[in-house]
Amino acid sequence: MNTTFKAMAAAIALGLPALALTTGPAFADEMAEGKWGEYQVGDKRSGYTYAGPETRAMQDDEFQNPAMLWLDTGMSEWENAAGDAGKACADCHGDAEESMAGVATKYPVYSEETGKMMNLEQRINFCRTENMQAEPYKWESDELLGMTAYVKNQSKGMPVDVSIDGPAKEFWEKGKEFYETRRGQLDLACTHCHVDNAGNLIRAETLSQGQGNGFPLYRLKWQKVGSLHRRFRGCNNNIRAEKLPYGSDEYTNLELYVTWRGNGLPIETPAVRK
């Protein structure tokens, strides 16, 4: 299967075989010393580096990673003609492995058409409604999660590189403000958990930096793949704050800010988390 080959090629490019193939105490030592290879860039650390060894192993092994099922859905949807235009993604974009390589590293991007930020899910649905004259995929449907993960997977191992220049700047500022504003009955901001306390336990969970580079990802608690916006809703809900709609402007701006925080980290999609 070409995804297998591709994952291996990406792993080789990243110098990951040492991590993936070394088992036992050597592996543990490497982790204990805080050498996270590509998963750490300066102070930025992927959620992978805070995850337990079983979770990491599940992510690393393509045959164990349950998210691969969603990637398969994305791959077949890529070829699937839909809508009044009778077109599939492949009719305009050809081979995803070529045309989509690197694309996801730039998202969310400012869209001239809508005058606001557009994340990958919204771009996919924009193509469906505008170019295919098809129904947009529903948020959190297997199709949208699968397509987003499939497209993002074509950039696996490439550094996140969103721009906040020009028109994106004001949306970045809104996202930053959201990130730093206390909300909910527990009166907490994202910063309290993911900046001030990354690495600390909150009950049984080790707080990470809340990076977005592995999304959409498979979460054991969800028993399925989920989007970054689903994670935002979960974190908002945990502090007894209002959950905002999937794809809302607020969450898309927040996604820009969260993604920008992780500029330089490699895309990991599809990651696995607890």
Active site residues: 235
| 8 A C-beta contact, residue 228 and residue 234 | no
CB of 17 to another protein, least distance (A): 35
Q: Does 183 bind another protein (CB under 8 A)?
A: yes
21, 196, 248, 264: which one contacts another protein (CB under 8 A)? 196
Spatial separation of the C-alpha atoms in residues 80 and 237, rounded to whole Å = 36
Instruction: Using the rule CB under 6 A, give the single segment among 9-17, 19-27, 142-150, 186-194 that binds ligand HEC.
Output: 186-194
Could you tell me the two tokens for 34?
Answer: 């805080």
The structure tokens 């990470």 sit at: 208
Residue 32 binding: pick among ligand HEC, another protein, none (C-beta 5-8 Å cut-off by kind): none
Q: Does 192 bind another protein (CB under 8 A)?
A: yes
Q: Does 190 bind ligand HEC (CB under 6 A)?
A: yes
Could you tell me the two tokens for 267?
Answer: 């895309």
CB of 141 to ligand HEC, least distance (A): 21
Residue 240 binding: pick among ligand HEC, another protein, none (C-beta 5-8 Å cut-off by kind): another protein
Residue 111 phi, psi dihedral angles, 5° rounding: -110, 120
Q: Is 219 annotated as a binding residue?
A: no
Q: Does 184 bind another protein (CB under 8 A)?
A: yes
| 8 A C-beta contact, residue 47 and residue 266 | no
The structure tokens 């791959």 sit at: 75
Q: Does 231 bind ligand HEC (CB under 6 A)?
A: yes
Q: Which of 4, 138, 14, 159 is nearest to 75 (CA)?
A: 4
Spatial separation of the C-alpha atoms in residues 168 and 164, rounded to whole Å = 5
Residues β-bridged to residue 219: 224, 273
Q: Footprint of ligand HEC on residues 236-255 (CB under 6 A)?
A: 236, 238-239, 254
Residues that bind ligand HEC (CB under 6 A): 47, 188, 190, 192-194, 202, 205, 207-208, 210-212, 214, 228, 231-232, 235-236, 238-239, 254, 258, 273
